[in-house]
Amino acid sequence: MVRLRHTASAAPLYPRKRDAASAAKEVADPVMPAALENTQPLLSADAPAAHSKRLLQKNLLWAELPEWMRDNQYILGGYRQPTNSFRKCFASLLYLHNETGNIMTHLVGAMGFLVLCFTVTKGLLLEFPTIDWHDITTLYAFLIAAVGCMGLSALYHTVTCHSPRVHNTYSKCDYIGIVFLIVGSCVPIFCYMFYCHPRLKLFYLALIFTLGSMTVVTVVAPHFAKPDYRPLRAATFVALGLSGIVPAIHCYLLFGWDYTLNAVQASYMLGVGGNYIVGAAIYGARIPERWWPGRFDYWLHSHQIFHIFVIIAAVFHYMGVVHALRWTHTAGIALCSV
Using 50, 70 and 90 to split pLDDT, how confident is the model at 185? very high
The arithmetic mean of pLDDT across residues 3-16, rounded, is: 44
Burial class (CB in 10 A: 0-12, 13-18, 19+), 106: buried
Distance of CA 89 to the CA centre of its chain: 14
Q: What is the pLDDT of residue 44?
A: 39
Quote the pLDDT of residue 282. 94
Q: What angle do CA 90, 173, 53 make, to 5 degrees?
A: 15
Question: Which range (68-77, 153-162, 179-188, 322-331) has the least confidence?
Answer: 322-331
Task: Return the pLDDT at 35.
Answer: 36
Average pLDDT over residues 85-98: 96
Query: Could you report how far apart the first and last alpha carbons of the chain are, in Å?
Result: 142
What 3-state class would DSSP assign to 79?
strand
The pLDDT value recorded for residue 2 is 44
Maximum mean pLDDT: which of 7-11, 52-56, 293-297: 293-297
pLDDT, average across residues 41-63 = 58
Whether the pLDDT of residue 49 is over 80: the answer is: no
Ligand-binding annotation for 303, yes or no, is yes
Has 157 been labeled as part of a binding site? yes
pLDDT at 285: 92
Is residue 125 exposed (0-12), middle (13-18) or buried (19+ Cβ within 10 Å)?
Answer: middle
Q: What percent of the chain has pLDDT over 70?
A: 80
Q: How far apart are CA 167 and CA 157, in angstroms?
A: 9
Q: Please return the burial class of 135, using the count of CB atoms within 10 Å of its CB with bins 0-12, 13-18 and 19+.
A: buried
Determine how many CB atoms are found less than 10 A away from the CB of residue 64. 12
pLDDT tier, 91 (very low <50, low <70, confident <90, very high otherwise): very high
pLDDT digit string, tens, across residues 234-259: 778 878 888 889 999 999 999 999 99
The answer on whether 307 is annotated among ligand-binding residues is: yes
Q: Which of 21-25, 193-197, 294-298 bottoms out in mean pLDDT, i.e. has the lowest?
A: 21-25
Mean pLDDT of the chain: 83
What span, in angstroms and rounded, lies between the C-alpha atoms of 119 and 124?
A: 9
Beta bridge partners of 60: 79
Residue 8's pLDDT is 42
Taking only the tens place, the pLDDT of each residue in 294-329 is 999 999 999 999 999 999 999 999 999 999 999 998
**Is pLDDT of 134 > 70?**
yes
pLDDT above 50: residue 147: yes
For the residues 278-290, what does the mean pLDDT come to?
93
Q: Which of 154, 123, 141, 223 is nearest to 182 (CA)?
A: 141
Residue 227 has a pLDDT of: 65
pLDDT value, residue 89: 97
In terms of Cα–Cα distance, which of 187, 242, 191 is closest to 209? 187
pLDDT for the residue 57:
60
d(CA 250, CA 209): 18
User: What is the predicted pLDDT for the residue at 278?
Assistant: 94
Which ranges of the chain does DSSP label H, i.e. alpha helix?
A: 20-28, 47-56, 86-91, 100-123, 133-159, 164-193, 198-220, 230-241, 245-255, 257-264, 266-285, 302-327, 333-334
**Shortest CA distance to 91 belongs to which of 173, 162, 164?**
162
CA nearest to 180, candidates 110, 279, 112, 122: 110
The torsion region of residue 84 among left (phi > 0), alpha (psi -120 to 50) and beta comes to left
Is a pLDDT exceeding 60 seen at residue 34?
no
Quick check: 175 and 219 in contact, CB under 8 A?
Answer: yes
Cα separation, 326 vs 152, whole angstroms:
31
- Give the range among 25-39, 42-56, 123-137, 242-256 with minimum mean pLDDT: 25-39
